[in-house]
Amino acid sequence: MNEKIILGLPKGSLNNVKRGNTHQLFVDAGYEVKGYEPGDESYEIEILNDEDIVAFLTRPQSTPVELNRGMVDIGIVGEDWIKEESVLRESNTIKIGDLDYGKTRLIVAVPKDSPYDNLSDFFRANKDRKTPILCFTEYPNLTRKFIMENEVYQEIYGDAVPFVQVRGLTDGDNEMVQVINSDGATEVYIAKGADLIVDNTQTGSSLRKAGLKEIETILQSSAGLYASGDCTEEKLDKAKMIYEQLLGAITAKKYFDVKFNISNSKIEEVSKYLIENKLCADEPTINSGSDFSQINVLIPKSRFPEMIDAIKKFDATSIIRNDLKQLVY
C-alpha cells in the first residue's frame, strides 16, 4: 500500500473475555497481535504480520468522532455509538460490515414495581407533576430524539426540546423533562432519585440487580467495522479485505468440519440425504477409494448430533469432527 491504514481497536466491553473479545477475533482471523490482550491493552498495538496496518486503542464512545474527522481510517465500534454521534450531525462514516458480536439493546428502564408499561404511560401519569422528570443516560442524543418522538410527550409539551446536560454544557428549553449525561453505572441513578434511565443491556443482569424493568427498546446494536468517509479507494479496499478476514473467523465458529467413511455402494444415497437435508454447503466433497470413500462436509454446529444419528444409519465409520478457523465464501 502507498499509505498505512490506521485502525482503531476498542477498549472496554468490546475487548472483554466474557463480552466482546475483539482481541481473540483478530487472533482467530490470523493476525499476530501484540499489546491488545484484554485488560492489558497498550495505546499503540502491533499487528506483526500485516505491515500495512497501524493500530491504536480507542474508546467506543469516541471512535465515531475519530472516524468522522479521519483521525483513524477504520475502527471497530458498536452501532449504538455510531448512531449516537450522528443524531445532530451528518455522519462521515461508512459501514464496511457487521461483525455479529457485542450485541446489545438500548432500552428505557424504570423501577420494576412501577405501573408503567411504556413511555407513553409514564408521561401520561406524570403530566401534572411540579418537579422535573429526570432521565440519566450515556446516550443523550438518542434519548432526547426518542423522547421527542413519543406521541404523549408531543401532546403534553408540543415540540419543546427536553433540557439536556452533558457535564457543564446544557441545551434545550423544556426544563420539565431533563436528560442528563451519565458516565457509566447508569442503572444506579434510579436509586439516587432519577425517574428513568436509558442504558444498553445484554443479559439483563445489571437491570435485574438494580431492580429495574424495561419499558421501551430504542435500538439494537452490534459491533461492526466502520471506515472514515475520508478514506482513499486504496484504504477502502484494504478495509474490505480486513473485514472479509474477520468475518471468515466469525462464520467459521458456526460450523464443524466433518469427515466420515462410507461404503461406495452407499455414496449416492448418503450424498442425496445430505443435500436434501441441507447437511452440506452445495454438495459433499468425496475422496473416492476402491471400496470405501471419505465424505467431507461443513455443517452448522447445532445440526451435528442429528447428522451423526443419520449417517450412522448408513453405516458410516471413522467420523471425525474438526473446528474451523476460517470460512470465507
Ligand X SMILES: O=P(O)(O)OC[C@H]1O[C@H](OP(=O)(O)OP(=O)(O)O)[C@H](O)[C@@H]1O
Smallest distance, ligand X to C-beta of residue 209, A: 8
19 is a contact residue toward ligand ATP (CB under 6 A): yes
Residue (204 or 289) nearer to ligand X, CB: 204
Nearest-10 Cα torsion for 24, 28, 31, 37: 10
Which run of H or of E encompasses 127? none
220 is a contact residue toward ligand X (CB under 6 A): no
- Alpha carbon 21 to its chain centroid, in Å, reads 11
Residue (38 or 102) nearer to ligand ATP, CB: 102
60 is a contact residue toward ligand ATP (CB under 6 A): yes
Copy the grid coordinates of residue 34.
501484540
Residues 6 or more apart in contact with residue 258 via CB below 8 angstroms: 296, 297, 298, 299, 304, 307, 319, 320, 321, 322
Q: In what order do the strands lie in the sheet with 74-78?
A: 33-37, 40-47, 53-58, 5-10, 74-78, 223-228, 93-98
Binding partner of 253, given ligand X, ligand ATP, none, CB within 5-8 angstroms per partner class: none
Find the binder of ligand X among 200, 221, 245, 261 (CB under 6 A): 200
Contact range with ligand ATP by CB under 6 A, out of 7-15, 231-239, 278-286, 320-328: 7-15
Could you give the CA distance from residue 215 to residue 20 in angstroms, rounded to a whole number? Answer: 26
Could you give the CA distance from residue 76 to residue 327 in angstroms, rounded to a whole number? Answer: 20
Could you give the CA distance from residue 226 to residue 130 in angstroms, rounded to a whole number? Answer: 45
Copy the grid coordinates of residue 310.
443419520
Find the binder of ligand ATP among 5, 9, 55, 61 (CB under 6 A): 61
Residue (20 or 162) nearer to ligand ATP, CB: 20
Binding partner of 141, given ligand X, ligand ATP, none, CB within 5-8 angstroms per partner class: none
Residue (150 or 201) nearer to ligand ATP, CB: 201
Could you give the CA distance from residue 35 to residue 55 in angstroms, rounded to a whole number? Answer: 10
Find the binder of ligand X among 205, 288, 290, 302 (CB under 6 A): 205
Smallest distance, ligand X to C-beta of residue 288, A: 51
Find the binder of ligand X among 115, 158, 168, 184 (CB under 6 A): 184
Binding mask 218-257 for ligand ATP (x = CB under 6 A): ---x------------------------------------
Binding partner of 102, given ligand X, ligand ATP, none, CB within 5-8 angstroms per partner class: ligand ATP
Contact range with ligand ATP by CB under 6 A, out of 11-19, 24-32, 250-258, 308-316: 11-19
Cβ atoms of residues 70 and 228 within 8 Å: yes
Could you give the CA distance from residue 47 to residue 112 in angstroms, rounded to a whole number? Answer: 47
Judged by the rule CB under 6 A, the positions of this chain that interact with ligand X are: 13, 184-186, 199-206
